[in-house]
């Protein structure tokens, strides 16, 4: 298997997800690691004018998920559970989530991620369990 091509296909698959039209994230996948960048902007704010926690979750879960998916060929993985720790608010600037695989089994994987602002301050962190699903990685789901 050409793992570099696998990473690029995962990146293309990520961008085909309709939800990403709203969040407008950028992704970079490597072996066992993934970086997601989302630009904090008013459309992502809650009523107190800071980025909503749902955006933090999305960035962290996506980074951890694709770190795991980078090591799994043929089948889509799914998030089984994810714990999130919110640490500080952010209003503007780049939010960067970096996910890494902690443990890789045959069907169960553990990954964690940290979210920082454009000054390197940690905004949140999280981690969870991911499992191999029965869904094949195919062009029909954007893996092309």
* Helix-helix angle 3-16:53-69, to 10 degrees: 150
- Among 84, 33, 95, 24, CA closest to 57: 84
Rounded distance between C-alpha atoms, residue 34 and residue 114, angstroms? 11
Domain count, the chain: 1
Give the domain extent around 110.
3-141
* Residue 6: burial class (beta carbons within 10 Å; 0-12, 13-18, 19+): buried
Q: What band does 1 get if pLDDT is binned at 50, 70 and 90?
A: confident
CB 129 within 8 A of CB 110: yes
pLDDT digits (tens, 9 = 90+) for 33-87: 999 999 999 999 999 999 999 999 999 999 999 999 999 999 999 999 999 999 9
Rounded distance between C-alpha atoms, residue 89 and residue 79, angstroms? 25
pLDDT (average), residues 120-129: 98
CB 39 within 8 A of CB 33: no
What's the order of all strands across the beta sheet hosting 33-40? 26-30, 33-40, 93-104, 108-116, 122-136, 75-86
- The C-alpha angle 44, 8, 83, rounded to 5 degrees, equals 45
Residue in this structure with the two tokens 């994230």, named with its chain if needed? 25
Query: What 3-state DSSP class applies to 82?
Result: strand
Q: What band does 9 get if pLDDT is binned at 50, 70 and 90?
A: very high
CATH of the domain at 93: 3.10.129.10
Q: Give me the pLDDT at residue 10, please.
A: 98
Average pLDDT across the chain, whole number: 97
pLDDT (average), residues 15-21: 97
CB 99 within 8 A of CB 65: yes
The pTM for the full model equals 0.96
């Amino acid at each position: 298997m050409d793992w570099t091509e696998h990473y690029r296909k995962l990146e293309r698959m990520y961008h085909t997800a309709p939800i990403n039209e709203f969040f407008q994230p950028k992704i970079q996948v490597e072996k066992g690691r993934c970086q997601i960048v989302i630009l904090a902007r008013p459309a992502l704010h809650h009523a107190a004018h800071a980025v909503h926690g749902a955006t933090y979750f999305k960035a962290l879960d996506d980074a951890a998920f694709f770190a795991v998916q980078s090591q799994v060929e043929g089948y889509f993985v799914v998030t089984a559970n994810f714990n999130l720790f919110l640490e500080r608010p952010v209003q503007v600037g780049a939010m960067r989530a970096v996910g890494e695989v902690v443990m890789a089994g045959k069907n169960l994987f553990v990954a964690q991620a940290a979210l920082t602002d454009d000054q390197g301050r940690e905004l949140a962190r999280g981690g969870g369990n991911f499992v191999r699903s029965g869904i094949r990685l195919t062009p029909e789901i954007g893996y092309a």
